[in-house]
Amino acid sequence: MPRSFTFGLTRSECNEMIEPGHEPQTVTRILFQDFPTWMMVTFYIAAIAAIIAFGYGCYVQLRKYRRGQALSLRNISEGLTCMIGDLLSHRSLKRRDHSAGMIHALIFFGFALLFIGTATITLEYDILEPITGWRFWYGSLYLWFSLIVDIAGLAFVTGLIYMMYRRQWLALPKLDYQRPDREPSEPDFDRSWYRREDWLFLWTLVLIGVTGFLLEADRLVWLQQDATVWNYRWWSPVGAVLAGLLEAIGLTSTVAESLRYGLWWLHGLLAFSFIGVLPFTKAKHIFTAMASLAIRDAKPAARLPEADLEANTIGYRKITDFNWKQLLHVDACTKCGRCHEACPANTSGFPLSPRDVVLTLRELANNSLQYGTLPAVESLQAVGDGINQVRVETLWSCRTCAACVEICPVGIEHVPLIVEMRRALVDEGEMDPAVQTALQNIQKKGNSIGENKRKRAAWSKKLDFEIRDARKEPVELLWFVGDYASFDPRYQKVAQTFARILHTSGIDFGILYEGEMTAGNDVRRVGEEGLFEHVAEKNIETLSGCEFECIVTTDPHSFNTLTNEYPQFGGEFKVEHATQLLNRLLASGKIPLERRLDRKVTYHDSCHLGRLNKEYAAPRDVLAKLGVKITEMPRNRDNAFCCGAGGGRIWTPDPLEMEKPAELRMHEAAEINDIDAFVVNCPKCMNMFEDAVKSTGNDKRLEVIEVIELVAACMDLDKVIPAAQENMEAESV
């Protein structure tokens, strides 16, 4: 007689749900009741075949990843913790599509409980009972188990049916798989087979769930004369309801017994087929998505990887140049289209969809790395005009704004993928002439504008005080001015205003004058790693020779690189963005405010301060302290829409027939009632939006203004023209 194993429950606790006269051991489910031996043997053969197919598929996928470059992971324990948090909360899936996230939670947790239930039955039936004689799947424990699994199955099927409705009737554009980087006449334009795969995936899971419930209902009808089954049917509520319906349409116990075998095999073969093909289909995201979340970088777009400048080639040309983590990332993509929808380049009509870049790389990897031997080198090329290749114009369309990285629910890091392929293009000299000119200017003159480096601080001559040279004397605050604050006429006024704020507030500050070079943020993001490392090392050398407590910059691009990337080269400095400094000075009372502003504005989150560095509060806190009322843009904070200047695109003229991202953003702002200003905190954003407010015809209604200028207005600095500036203007006349 097999021993019972109740996991610490007392006999009375096990019996509490059992009717008098019924032995708890009899209240259970006999899996192969009345099955002939050949059927049981066939079942186990099919199960073993499915497991072998699954195991082989996993081996093929792991072999594919191993054909990528080696990579050592950092902070894997932290990554695992974040992954578990994401899974349990489903927070990454709920963002910006709450209904889809909630429904996916039903599917995920329903599937997880069904899997646990199946594993539990297997544990008892195939392992514990044959080896040790222990049994636990009966009595009250079995009844609670049955109830939980039934509810889980209902949640699972309900979620899947909603997803079908979402795809078919809501017809969301992001799920149509239309490619912006191909023409309809091209052979790889049509990705309708992805839609077929999606539907096959959904129908297979729905049928597995539905046949499971039908099998449960059929068993209840078949054994309705057995009180140890029928009297407890409501512990399987879905099965009980279906059993009632089957009886209502005339299903008898005898017919149910015959029907049981067909339902059993249909359900079993569907499940075994799903297991066997899982590693080769969309279903593998069950595992790859979790792994992708666990190994993602905390700042994949803010801190790009270094390149080996001593190597024969730089950047990624072949699919085997990508590291194993990146190959896993592209396999994790569920084709949800959130990155496609968020991308400013795609929205503006450029031939870029982050999703399509990922899928193209996935297809190339599957077609070239899954087989026993690698194909010829030409079949491994990742960049080009061929099938399963990413096109050059696609790569240069990217703004590296990280909107795709931010919204990806499975942690894919699109920006490093694109930048690595750009590095290969730059290494080969394949870039827009305007980008090449900017890089040459930086190499020769230290700035992208092409001005003589001795003019870098010319803007400061219009002040009625002299800014200290931080190279020659210690300062409390070292201001890293940046290219556009130094040379762009509009933002030079902001630089002068910021200097006057610091001077009036008694802040001890200085600049590097001609000793400053561009920080290199955009240099790195266009893919010129060698030049980036050169300017980074030069700036670090200069900064290391100065005495200061903190660096401040008005440029979020410089802020990002100084904060996140200079430490890769030994440049560890405390860095603040201007809005962070102003917020701190306002809070401490060091900035003398003469009045409050009665203005209604909207505020634009720059990508490099906001999305890349998660600083959303400081600029808003500054505006609140000034009395400014903010009406938020529909897309704000981590969902803010890029101005289009990032990734070196500020150096490249956009086609005249296309609406620029900045123009789309300005249209969005113009739809907000009762505002008179569009507030920015970045020189590149100001440059782009100053043009956009005019080209969209909103210059009479909206003023593009810097946070710094609003602070100055509250200090009444905007009413005072320094004597030095007055004299220079008189001389120019």
Residue 364 is inside which H or E element, if any?
helix 354-369
Q: Tell me which amino acid residue 580 is.
A: Q
384-421 pLDDT per residue, tens: 999 999 999 999 999 999 999 999 999 999 999 999 99
Tell me: do 236 and 121 sit in the same domain: yes
Tell me: do 308 and 242 sit in the same domain: no
Q: How far apart are CA 476 and CA 349, in angstroms?
A: 47
Q: How far apart are CA 658 and CA 695, in angstroms?
A: 12
Taking CA atoms, 387 is separated from 65, 127, 238, in Å, by 21, 49, 48
Angle between helices 354-369 and 414-427 (to 10 degrees): 80
Number of H helices, E strands in the chain: 31, 9
Helix, strand, coil distribution of the chain in percent, nearest 5: 60, 5, 35
Say if 213 falls within a structural domain: yes
CB-based contact 26:228 (threshold 8 Å): yes
Handedness of CA 143, 148, 153, 158 (dihedral sign): positive
CB-based contact 548:477 (threshold 8 Å): yes
Phi and psi angles of residue 310, each rounded to the nearest 5 degrees, phi first: -90, -10
593-625 pLDDT per residue, tens: 999 999 999 999 999 999 999 999 999 999 999
Handedness of CA 149, 151, 154, 160 (dihedral sign): negative
CB-based contact 545:471 (threshold 8 Å): yes
Tell me: do 350 and 439 sit in the same domain: no
Residue 613 is inside which H or E element, if any?
none
Say if 67 falls within a structural domain: no
Say if 439 falls within a structural domain: yes
CB-based contact 642:666 (threshold 8 Å): no
Q: How far apart are CA 229 and CA 309, in angstroms?
A: 72
Taking CA atoms, 549 is separated from 34, 559, 570, 590, in Å, by 82, 16, 17, 17
Q: Is 600 helix (H, G, I), strand (E, B) or coil?
A: strand
Tell me: do 547 and 407 sit in the same domain: no
Say if 56 falls within a structural domain: no
Residue 728 structure tokens: 């220079």
- Domain edge (last residue) among 397, 427, 457: 427
Tell me: do 403 and 422 sit in the same domain: yes
Phi and psi angles of residue 677, each rounded to the nearest 5 degrees, phi first: -150, 150
Say if pTM beats, i.e. exceeds, 0.85. Answer: yes
Tell me: do 498 and 640 sit in the same domain: yes
Q: How far apart are CA 545 and CA 486, in angstroms?
A: 22
Tell me: do 479 and 587 sit in the same domain: yes
CB-based contact 114:166 (threshold 8 Å): no
Tell me: do 460 and 534 sit in the same domain: yes
Q: Is 475 helix (H, G, I), strand (E, B) or coil?
A: coil
CA-CA-CA-CA torsion for 147, 148, 153, 154, nearest 10 degrees? 70
- Domain edge (last residue) among 233, 268, 291: 291
Residue 422 structure tokens: 């750009």
CB-based contact 585:505 (threshold 8 Å): yes
Tell me: do 249 and 217 sit in the same domain: yes
Q: Is 554 helix (H, G, I), strand (E, B) or coil?
A: coil
Q: How far apart are CA 202 and CA 160, in angstroms?
A: 6
Tell me: do 328 and 407 sit in the same domain: yes
DSSP string, 390-418: B-HHHHHT-----HHHHH-TT---HHHHH
Residue 299 structure tokens: 């700042």
Q: Which domain holds residue 380?
A: 300-427
Q: How far apart are CA 711 and CA 133, in angstroms?
A: 78
Residue 434 structure tokens: 């305007």
Reference 411, options 79, 40, 22, 9; nearest CA is 79
CB-based contact 240:146 (threshold 8 Å): no
CB-based contact 443:517 (threshold 8 Å): no
Q: How far apart are CA 453 and CA 441, in angstroms?
A: 10
Query: What residues in the chain have per-residue pLDDT under 70?
Result: 1-16, 718-733
Q: Is 468 helix (H, G, I), strand (E, B) or coil?
A: strand
How many domains is the chain partitioned into structurally? 3
**What is the rounded end-to-end Cα distance, in angstroms, of the chain?**
109
Phi and psi angles of residue 233, each rounded to the nearest 5 degrees, phi first: -65, -30
Residue 107's domain is classified under what CATH number? 1.20.950
- Domain edge (last residue) among 378, 404, 427: 427
Say if 57 falls within a structural domain: no
Tell me: do 668 and 537 sit in the same domain: yes
Q: Is 183 helix (H, G, I), strand (E, B) or coil?
A: coil
Residues with Cβ < 8 Å from 260, sequence gap 6 or more?
Answer: 215, 218, 219, 222
Tell me: do 116 and 146 sit in the same domain: yes
